[in-house]
Amino acid sequence: MESPVDSAVRLLSASDYAVALTGAGISTDSGIPDFRSPGGLWNTFPAIFGDYHSFLTNPEQVLELGRVLLPLLFSAVPNEGHKAMKKLEDLDILQAIITQNIDGLHQMAGSKTVVEIHGTYKTATCLGCKRAFTLPELLPLSSSSLICPDCLGIVKPDVVMFGEPLPEEAFSQAVALTEQADLMIVAGSSLEVIPASHLVTMASRNKVPLIFINKSQTALDKLADIILRETISECLPHLVALVRKEVIPCESQ
């Protein structure tokens, strides 16, 4: 009987248009806490700190969260899981990464097509005059307030909060990629957050094989074709090494 690892290698080796959906679990080995596991952010801070409507009335909550999270984001570097995704791209198997993460580590690892459906911490926008802020421009504001120097409006980091719609262009791109996929890898996501989880439902409905790599159960495990209950930074490099052995000889013949 074929093992889950062997099945994953077979599917990856045969894929021409794999797409990955990644969540916080792929970045925990880079020192960035996830949200829902023991020791995660929502066990340290009330979840209301990430609520959009709460932010509008009390933006100082985000400042408190940022004082803990920003130093971790600044010091983080891609781990072996991020690097393995880049290697799958180099093998022309992985065509795009759809990520729920705001940390930019996939790009830092060299991945070319990364769709950030939950935004990024590296930019911000004034809710009043719509002025765009780079991270160097935002940092002085985040030390004491989030007030726009131009119009005195609230400056919001370009991170999607609870109760806020996803960036329309990014999510449309994610849907289009999912529609093209012949394989989806789901790595490090609990799949409890919508509409990101709808991408997995869509892939399943399209009969696209699903490989889940996650240390704990997800909300959509029943849809997975293969579940690898392992640490991503260990499991994914192992898979890629096995896939490379399958793919490179075929390409050189």
The yes-or-no answer on residue 106 being catalytic is: no
Of the candidates 83, 82, 132, the one whose C-alpha atom is nearest the C-alpha of residue 103 is 82
Compute how many other C-beta atoms are within 10 angstroms of the C-beta atom of residue 225.
Answer: 16
DSSP-derived secondary structure for the chain: ---HHHHHHHHHHH-SSEEEEE-GGGTGGGT---SSSTTSHHHHS-GGGGBHHHHHH-THHHHHHHHHHHHHHHH----HHHHHHHHHHHTT-EEEEEE---S-HHHHTT-S-EEETTEEEEEEEETTT--EEEHHHHHHHHTT--B-TTT-PBEEEEEPPBTSPPPHHHHHHHHHHHHH-SEEEEES----STTHHHHHHHHHHTT--EEEE-SS--TTGGG-SEEE-S-HHHHHHHHHHHHHHHHHHHHH-
- Catalytic residue selected from 53, 82, 106, 118: 118
Q: Which of the residues are catalytic?
A: 118
